[in-house]
Amino acid sequence: MKNVVLIGFMGTGKSVIGRRLANALGFRFVDTDRLVEKQAGKTIAKIFAEEGEARFREWEADVAKQISGCHACVIATGGGMVTRPENLGRLAGIRVALTARPDVILRRTQAHPGQRPLLRSANPLADIARLLAERAPFYRHADLTVDTSDVSIDAAVRHIQAKVIEIEGQAHSG
Ligand code: S3P
- DSSP single-letter state for residue 161: H
Residues within 6 Å of ligand 1 by CB: 10, 14-15, 33, 44, 78-80, 116-118
Q: Which atom of ligand 1 is nearest to the CA of 135?
A: 12
Buried b (16+ CB within 10 A) or exposed e, 71-110: eebbbbbbbbbbbbeebbebbebbbbbbbbebebbbebbe
| Cα of 161 from ligand 1 centre, angstroms | 24
pLDDT for 161: 98
Burial of 128 (0-12, 13-18, 19+ CB in 10 A): buried
Q: Please give the CATH superfamily to which domain 4-173 belongs.
A: P-loop containing nucleotide triphosphate hydrolases (3.40.50.300)
| Cα of 92 from ligand 1 centre, angstroms | 20
| Cα of 94 from ligand 1 centre, angstroms | 21
Q: To the nearest whole number, what is the mean pLDDT of the chain?
A: 96
In this predicted model, what pLDDT tens digit does every residue of 108-162 receive, in sequence order? Answer: 999 988 899 999 999 999 999 999 999 999 999 999 999 999 999 999 999 999 9
| Cα of 83 from ligand 1 centre, angstroms | 11
**Strand extents, DSSP E, 60-121:** 73-76, 94-99
What are the structural domain ranges in the chain?
Answer: 4-173
**Residue range 70-99: average pLDDT?**
96
Please report which confidence band the pLDDT of residue 92 belongs to, taking 50, 70 and 90 as the band edges: very high
pLDDT for 174: 61
- Pocket perturbation via mutation, ligand 1, pick of 116, 139, 148 by most ligand atoms within 8 A of CB: 116
Q: Which atom of ligand 1 is nearest to the CA of 80?
A: 11
**Beta carbons within 8 Å of 31's beta carbon, 6+ residues apart:** 15, 18, 19, 75, 76
| Cα of 77 from ligand 1 centre, angstroms | 8
